[in-house]
Each structure stands twice: as C-alpha cells, then as structure tokens.
Amino acid sequence: MPGTREFERLLTVMSFYREAELHGARLLLVMHNHLRDPDSQMKLTRHLADETRHAFLWTKRITDMGGAPITITNGYQHRLGLRFGVPKDTIDLLALTSVAESRALERYRSHAQQEDVEDKTLEVLKAVGADENWHLAWVDAKMNEIAERRGDAGRAIRALERVRAVEREVYATFIAEEAELMRRAD
C-alpha cells in the first residue's frame, strides 16, 4: 500500500488528526494557568495526557503502516484559533475546547463508519473517540459551573454559540480544501 494515492491520502488524514491532538494539548497547557483549583488541575492533566497519547497513537499508526507523519501547518485547530482570535476569558477557552472536541469526535466516528477501514486504524479511532466523550463532559460541566458561579449561566451558552458559528465557517472551508486534496490524490 505505501506509495499508492490511497496510502498518501490516509497518511494526510491521520497527520491532520495528529496535528489536531497536538494543538489541543497546547491549548490545555494554556488552560492550566487559568484553572487552578485542584479538581480542574486533575482533569486538565488527565485530558492533556489523553491528547498527547492520541497524538502518539496516530504517530504510531502512521509509522506502523510504513509512513511518516506529514507536517501540517494550517490544520483545523490552527485555522479555528486564527479565525476565533484570542479567547477573552476561561469560558471562551473552554467553549473553544468543547467545540473542537465535538468536531474531533464527529470526525473519528465518521471515519470509523467508512468502508474498508483497517482493523488497526479502527482500534485507534475507537480509542481516541472514547476519550473524547469524557473530555466533552468535563469541559462542558466546568464551563457551566464557572458561568453560574459568575451569576450569568447564559454566558456558557452564548460562548458556545459564538464559537460554533465561527467553527462552522472554518470547517466548511477546511472540508472543501480537504475534498480538493483528496480529488488530486485520485
């Protein structure tokens, strides 16, 4: 399979996944400075460990297939961060994380449902997807907790709506470019 267009396409997709996990880890490191309570520190550290493990799993899968990770400089999370801008506060950071995690889970599930997914790739998709459910649960709960503690429970909802609106634009562009890349590979 190495050297085929399908192989190169798959390496590209997995490299995008890998880059998104690494980018997510960087965002979590930023959050470590904002959420200092013991519960948040535990959850952030576990989440960070998951993100770096996910990047490792994608790297290992790529190399086990006989490939090498492709350097991605303009991936989904990078584009989302550029378009969204600097988060105003912790709630915006959590909303950005929630939306990115939701998209990752959707992508992993969609990929897993495609025909002819190799068993080893399916194992990685299932492993990272399972963690994404927990990531979403704790991030959303913390975001709502902070908003309620500040006396504005609707702030979390507004932050999510704002990030989702930006994310839909970014994702539409990203998917269009990805589709073009995949057509060129065929």
Separation of alpha carbons 118 and 115, rounded Å: 9
Q: With a threshold of 0.85, does the pTM exceed it?
A: yes
Contact 7, 67 (CB under 8 A): yes
12 with 70: CB under 8 angstroms?
yes
For the cut 80, the answer to whether the pLDDT of residue 183 exceeds it is no
Packing angle, helices 154-185 and 90-112, rounded to 10:
40
Q: With cut-offs at 50, 70 and 90, classify the pLDDT of residue 179.
A: confident
Q: pLDDT by residue (tens digit) across 33-91?
A: 999 999 999 999 999 999 999 999 999 999 999 999 999 998 898 899 999 998 989 99
Cβ contact 96:162 at 8 Å: no
At 89, list the tokens: 């506060």
138-169 pLDDT, tens per residue? Answer: 999 999 999 999 999 999 999 999 999 999 99
Percent of the chain with pLDDT over 90: 83
Spell out the domains of the chain, with CATH numbers in brackets: 5-185 (1.20.1260.10)
Supply the pLDDT for residue 180: 73
For CA atoms 148, 150, 154, 156, give the dihedral sign. negative
Convert the pLDDT of each residue in 91-146 to its tens digit. 999 999 999 999 999 999 999 999 999 999 999 999 999 999 999 999 999 999 99
